[in-house]
Amino acid sequence: MEQTPFPIKYWAEDDKPREKLMIKGKQVLSDAELLAILIGSGSRNESAVELSKRILSSVNNNLNALGKLSVKQLMTFKGIGEAKAVTIAAAAELGLRRRAEDRTELSKIISSKAVFEIMQPVIGELPHEEFWVLYLNNSNKVIYRSQISKGGITGTLVDVRIVFKIALEHNATSVILTHNHPSGKLEASSADKQITQKLKHAGQQLDIPILDHVIITENNYLSFADDGIL
């Protein structure tokens, strides 16, 4: 006889993802069970948990890789329509934003690595370039961060006036420049060096020094200050 899946509604209460979360807490659920709660239901031939396991298996059970799947890519899985795909994508984005906020809130910058840890979740995995500025107080703690510009695959434009207008509005005493390289190449271009010097000179006039310019990729970074090119 052909075996058919045992629907979630017939499982023991402790084994149903939603009920299991309510009874035992969210920490005890597997990644597949948490994903199944987002999906809500499977299909006639596959439970939501089995569908979730299949999706996770396609990305080697890597949640970062799952978060990079587009709505269209998610919809290629049988049983995932537009509504379910959007729900998964939205949940992944919320997780990314929470991770970024946790690392940013009054973070004290003691090294270029700290800058990388704050900004990698924000721009490290983007397919296009973005230029962000971290604004610091006199204790070198981040009091604000702002996206200054958003560009294409190979570059973005930066308005010096906007950078320092925001600095003055937030009473920042110093700033750190950051942008990403979607190519993964950790090398400062001539344009990167030119805008850094332009901002550095403007900062000197306003007594708001540029402490560093950090280029971010998915797994690594380059610091102008560390490399002596600031």
Q: What share of the chain in percent tops pLDDT 90?
A: 43
What is the average pLDDT across 2-9?
53
Does pLDDT of 212 surpass 60? Answer: yes
pLDDT bin (cut points 50, 70, 90) of residue 15 is: low
Do 157 and 186 belong to one domain?
yes
Is 72 among the domain residues? yes
Q: What is the pLDDT of residues 155-208, one digit of tens each?
A: 567 889 999 999 999 999 999 999 999 988 898 999 999 999 999 999 999 999
| CA–CA dist 158, 90 (Å, integer) | 29
Do 21 and 94 belong to one domain?
yes
How many domains does the chain divide into? 2
Do 94 and 180 belong to one domain?
no
Does pLDDT of 99 surpass 70? Answer: no
> For residue 143, what are the domain limits?
106-223
Do 129 and 205 belong to one domain?
yes
For every residue of the chain, DSSP letters joined together read -------GGGS-GGGSHHHHHHHH-GGGS-HHHHHHHHH---BTTB-HHHHHHHHHHHTTT-HHHHHH--HHHHTTSTT--HHHHHHHHHHHHHHHHHHHHHHHTT-B--SHHHHHHHHHHHHTT-SS-EEEEEEE-TTSBEEEEEEEEE--SS-----HHHHHHHHHHTT-SEEEEEEE-TT------HHHHHHHHHHHHHHHHHT--EEEEEEE-SS-EEETTTTT--
Q: Report the CATH number that the domain containing residue 63 is assigned in CATH.
A: 1.10.150
Do 202 and 120 belong to one domain?
yes
Per-residue model confidence (pLDDT) at position 220 = 93
Do 113 and 199 belong to one domain?
yes
pLDDT bin (cut points 50, 70, 90) of residue 5 is: low
Q: What is the pLDDT of residues 20-58, one digit of tens each?
A: 888 888 888 888 888 998 888 877 778 888 899 999 999
Q: What share of the chain in percent tops pLDDT 70?
A: 88
Higher pLDDT, 227 or 102: 227
Is 62 among the domain residues? yes
Domain end, chosen from 39, 70, 100, is at 100
Per-residue model confidence (pLDDT) at position 198 = 93
Do 180 and 194 belong to one domain?
yes
Per-residue model confidence (pLDDT) at position 29 = 84
